[in-house]
Amino acid sequence: MSRANAQRRAARRGVLPGFGLTFGITTTYLTLIVLIPIAGLVLRAAGLGPLGVWQVISAPRALAAFRVSFVIAALATLANMPIGLLLAWTMVRYRFPGRRMLDALVDLPLALPTSVAGVALTALYVDDGWLGGPLAALGLKIAFTPLGIWVALLFVGLPYVVRTVQPVLMELDRRTEEAALTLGARPGQVFARVVLPPLLPALLAGAGLAFARAVGEYGSVIFIAGNRPGVSEIVPLLIVGKLEQYDYAAAAALGATMLLAALLILLALSAVQSRAVRLWMRTVAA
């Protein structure tokens, strides 16, 4: 143990070679590809002045759009967590016909252009579609309602959860589980106390990515949403509307605000990650 600690301390001092090269590549690349473009966006928004930015983002229609975008993205992410966990679990733990197909299909939402996904989902959930028909008979309208946005965001975010949880699940040491089971623990207890805690950080990280992606999603949503102001109008659509009026600064202000909000949520999520694990351990222990 102390040897490992000593080594880790050595690493902190940078004993492994390659720091200069990898640090150089990382900072140069991130600066060119991410930092400068984002800085340009923020600068453009800043041209409006604090009051101007506030006016853009606090307009009633903008506030309603922010609510639609963030609330529905959150609800879709909440649904994606158990679904993603289940899919990852069965794929890693069980052998069943269709497993490889599932493994391939999980990436479909990434591979399909978002506009195609939007068109396909709309065709599926419209009142006379394969799924929309039966659901309409139950009195549930999906396409052209906020529920449609939820369906689209669920689709778009799923691979992020599955692909983040899957590798960690593969690495999980099953001996602890087996030990707990042989000691007479019930499977439910083992899942909650032994399996879930190490998975939780990955699950939350995946959820964070899915959420971030869902908040900004445009292509798949506009086809299925109905886009009614205040009801099913998302922020990216408002941005397009601003651009249509050549109001680049207002578009940049909306974009930068969304980015900032998503970033804060991501940071908050990573902050609670470690705490969540500890809290979880305590709750299930009690």
Partner 1 sequence: MKMRTLGLAILAIGLLGSTVVRAEVTLLNVSYDPTRELYADINKAFAADWKAKTGEAITIRSSHGGSGAQARAVIDGLEADVVTLALQPDIDAIAERAHLLPTDWQSRLPNHSVPYTSTILFVVRKGNPKGIHDWGDLLKPGVQVITPNPKTSGGARWNYLAAWGYALKQPGGTPEKAKAFVRDLFSHVPILDSGARGATITFARRNQGDVLLAWEDDANLAVRELGEGKLEIVAPSMSIQAEPVVALVDQVVAKHGTAKEAAAYLQYLYSPAAQEIDAKHFLRPTDKAVMARYAGQFPTITTFTVDEVFGSWKKVQAEQFGDGGVFDQIYQPVK
Partner 2 sequence: MQHSRVTGIGERPALRIVLVACTMVLMVLILVMPLAVVLVEALRRGIGSYAEGISSPDAWDAIRLTVLVAAIAVPLNTVFGLAAAWCLTRYRFAGRAALMALTALPFSVSPVISGLVWVLLFGLQGWFGPWLRAHDVQIIFALPGIVLATVFVTVPFVVRQVIPIMQARGDDEELAALTLGASGWQIFRRITLPRVRWGVLNGVLLCNARAMGEFGAVSVVSGHIRGLTVTMPLHIEILYNDYNLPAAFAMASLLAAMALVTLGVKALLERRQTAGV
Given the rule CB under 8 A, which residues bind partner 1? 59, 61, 119, 122-123, 126-128, 143-144, 222-223, 226-231, 237, 240-241, 243-247, 250
Q: Tell me if 19 contacts partner 2 by CB under 8 A.
A: yes
Choose from partner 1, partner 2, none: what does 128 bind? Cβ within 5-8 Å by kind. partner 1
Q: Tell me if 10 contacts partner 2 by CB under 8 A.
A: yes
Q: Tell me if 212 contacts partner 2 by CB under 8 A.
A: yes
Residues 149, 64: Cα–Cα separation, whole Å: 15
Tell me the closest approach of the beta carbon of residue 283 to partner 2, in angstroms.
19
Residues 144, 77: Cα–Cα separation, whole Å: 20
Q: Which is nearer to partner 1, 98 or 244 (CB)?
A: 244
Whose structure tokens read 């604090």? 50
Tell me the closest approach of the beta carbon of residue 21 to partner 1, in angstroms.
9
Tell me the closest approach of the beta carbon of residue 151 to partner 2, in angstroms.
9
Binding to partner 2 in span 149-208, by CB under 8 A: 154-155, 158-159, 163-164, 167-168, 171, 174, 177-178, 181-182, 184, 187, 190-191, 195, 202, 205
Choose from partner 1, partner 2, none: what does 147 bind? Cβ within 5-8 Å by kind. none
Q: Among 57, 147, 207, 215, which residue interacts with partner 2 (rule: CB under 8 A)?
A: 215
Whose structure tokens read 């490992």? 4
Residues 85, 94: Cα–Cα separation, whole Å: 14
Whose structure tokens read 């578009």? 251
Residues 139, 44: Cα–Cα separation, whole Å: 46
Tokens encoding 37: 């473009």
Residues 128, 143: Cα–Cα separation, whole Å: 10
Using the contact rule CB under 8 A, the part of the chain among 54-62, 132-140, 248-256, 275-283 near partner 2 is 248-256
Q: Tell me if 71 contacts partner 2 by CB under 8 A.
A: no
Choose from partner 2, partner 1, none: what does 96 bind? Cβ within 5-8 Å by kind. partner 2
HEC per residue, 158-212: HHHHHHHHHHHHHHCCHHHHHHHHHCCCCHHHHHHHHHHHHHHHHHHHHHHHHHH
Residues 209, 77: Cα–Cα separation, whole Å: 9
User: Residue 14 class from Cβ within 10 Å (0-12 exposed, 13-18 middle, 19+ buried)?
Assistant: exposed
Binding to partner 2 in span 257-286, by CB under 8 A: 258-259, 262-263, 266-267
Tell me the closest approach of the beta carbon of residue 222 to partner 1, in angstroms.
5
Q: Which is nearer to partner 1, 22 or 90 (CB)?
A: 22
Residues 32, 169: Cα–Cα separation, whole Å: 35
